Amino acid sequence: MEPVGLKYWSPIQAAEHLVTRQTGALFDITGFVKIEVNGKGALNLLQKVCTNNIDVPVGKVVYSVISNIYGGIKSDLTISRLEENKFWVLAGAGNGMIDINWLRVNAPNDGSVQIIDWTSALAGIGLWGPNSRSVLEKLCDDDDISNEAFPFFSIKRISISNIPCVAVRISYIGELGWEIYTPTEYGLTLWDELRNTSREFNMICSGAGAFESLRLEKGYRSLGSDIHTNTNPYESGLGFTVKLKKDTDFIGKEALSKIKEAPIQKKLACMVMDDSEGMALGTEPIYSDGKAVGYVTSTNYGYFVDKHIVYGYLPSELSSTGTKLN
């Protein structure tokens, strides 16, 4: 008889996770929401709804939180400045429609901003892992993919085997890599080109299970579980995304200013199980001396570090390294 939790774990996921860390993998990220915000008022709108400073040079990418008026995390996303008055907003599939609506609700009615949902028009592929640059260098004859020309958190229009693409130098799994977007009519051709070439560098195709365990191993937050409207950037380890000194009175600025001044009562903490065969699926209570002090927000096995990883909010005094919990 199989253990009750076995159906939640897959040996395929373990293999995909490890190969991605060692050589690399392709991920289908077509479901990511792709929003264009353009016009003379585009920057002002994004500065209003985002906690981070979006006024960066063309070609740069910013990771930001969207806060509600109480300082809670409404969303997290990346904003890329393609042109002086044209930005790309990339968001997860689960919250993307909410993000689009929030942008539209807060946009001025004077015609200075256009908001376009390109989600169904663009296919997306995550090319992630140590060998990902080697793949692009072989397929991009006219584009410089070096770290100097294409640094982390930057965006470029490139051509991959004559396929027009927009590449963003970001990775949700914590490895070298790019998110690559192309019109949907080129999507399958692009996938085949990347797949065939990546095989030469011992890369594979990987799925959602490894996607989740890889991000957890790296420490990236998941919207809806690790971060949500009942958590704020400071307690979730995302305080670096809040720029209180920027001129714009962004949504939630007043609340976040007060939150920053007050002592942090709880913190999102990374924990590992002493028992490698222990099991957690999420939402289980976390105990200290027999008292429930928090609950599991995210959990998965970290196949590269060979530890079962658990994330959860803990009282600040229990969030330091070495604390023993149950």
Supply the pLDDT for residue 1: 35
Cα–Cα distance measured from residue 302 to residue 310, given in angstroms and rounded to the nearest whole number: 10
Query: Domain span at residue 112?
Result: 11-211
Residue 136 lies in a domain: yes
Cα–Cα distance measured from residue 312 to residue 237, given in angstroms and rounded to the nearest whole number: 12
Residue 255 lies in a domain: no
- The per-residue pLDDT of the chain, averaged, comes to 94
Q: Which residues sit opposite 266 in a β-bridge?
A: 315
| Model-wide pTM > 0.85 | yes
Cα–Cα distance measured from residue 301 to residue 214, given in angstroms and rounded to the nearest whole number: 9
Could you give the 3-state DSSP secondary structure of residue 314?
A: strand
Tens digit of pLDDT for each residue in 68-125?
Answer: 999 999 999 999 999 999 999 999 988 889 999 999 999 999 999 999 999 999 999 9
Residue 84 lies in a domain: yes
> How many structural domains does the chain have?
1
Residue 68: which CATH number? Answer: 3.30.1360.120
Spatial neighbors of 21 by CB under 8 A, at least 6 apart, are 129, 130, 175, 214, 304
Could you give the 3-state DSSP secondary structure of residue 148?
A: coil
Mean pLDDT by 10 residues, the chain (326 residues): 58 95 98 98 99 98 98 98 98 91 97 97 98 98 94 98 98 96 98 98 96 95 96 98 96 98 95 80 87 93 93 92 81
Residue 163 lies in a domain: yes
What does 3-37 look like in DSSP terms, one character per residue?
-TTGGG--HHHHHHHHHHHHT-EEEE-TTSEEEEE
